[in-house]
Amino acid sequence: MKHESIETNAALLIILTLVAISIGGLVEIVPLHYIEGTVEQVKNEKGHDAVRPYTPLEQLGRDIYTREGCYNCHSQMIRPFRDEAIRYGHYSLAAESQYDHPFQWGSKRTGPDLARVGGKYASSWHVKHLIKPISVMKGSIMPNYPWLAEDKLDISDVQAKMETLKQVGVPYSLSKEEFAKNEKQFGPDVAKLLDINRAETNLHAQAKSGNFDGDPSILSEMDALVAYLQILGTMVDFKKHDEADFIEFR
């Protein structure tokens, strides 16, 4: 049958299009019913979940990241290709984005992917880069964000934000039962960081110990954003996992 005869017969074209879509849909959907899950179970050396929700400070930093539109130029999804692995590191796991609302995947990269940027640079480098990118990256076309170091971080609604995220499945705790569950899942130290009742205390403690913006006299938006950037890609220690550990989920 010539292709021209299909294109000139509307009814036949519609039928064959539906067949093609059905086959493609089945290929995508059927395998999902034969695997236990698509989110990897990644444990640390203590047997707790390696990937945790963001701390209050990191979550506010993520909100600033989305507010400033950083996702327009930076993806957070390393694809399972050799050239991606050479440049950015191990391909992204679904587990690493399971607490992101919304996730920061994508392939639009005016700037580099940030899925593994945590710990790659010192916090002071991030501060300089955000204030004036060209000062550390010659030829950068990224805009300047000097106000981040000047504007005080608004923490008045941090508990409300955590409660909202809790309603969509992020395991922050309010009750003793939820706290105990997080202790079992993430360990006691992490469970304390996920306690909504201690949100402001935990936020101030992390900002003080990390001093992310280099200025201990102010709790700035820069503190929060750098704290968020420094956690990206650091929860899973890929040196302790073989490639085969995650293949079954692909």
pLDDT greater than 80 at residue 204: yes
Residue ranges, CATH 1.10.760.10, the chain: 56-247
> Which among 135, 130, 134 has a CA at the least distance from the CA of 146?
130
Per-residue model confidence (pLDDT) at position 35: 67
Cα dist from 78 to 24, 88, 107, 134, 209, whole Å: 25, 7, 9, 25, 30
pLDDT greater than 70 at residue 247: no
Whether 95 contacts 40, CB under 8 Å: yes
Over residues 122-151, mean pLDDT: 97
Whether 94 contacts 38, CB under 8 Å: yes
Distance (Å, whole) CA 113 – CA 36 = 30
Tens digits of per-residue pLDDT, 12-42? 889 999 999 999 999 888 877 776 677 888 9
Tens digits of per-residue pLDDT, 71-103? 999 999 999 899 999 999 999 999 999 999 999
Q: Does domain 56-247 have CATH number 1.10.760.10?
A: yes
User: What residues does 152 pair with on adjacent strands?
Assistant: 220
DSSP per-residue letters across 103-116 = -------SS---TT
Cα dist from 174 to 26, 55, 159, 167, whole Å: 42, 14, 10, 12
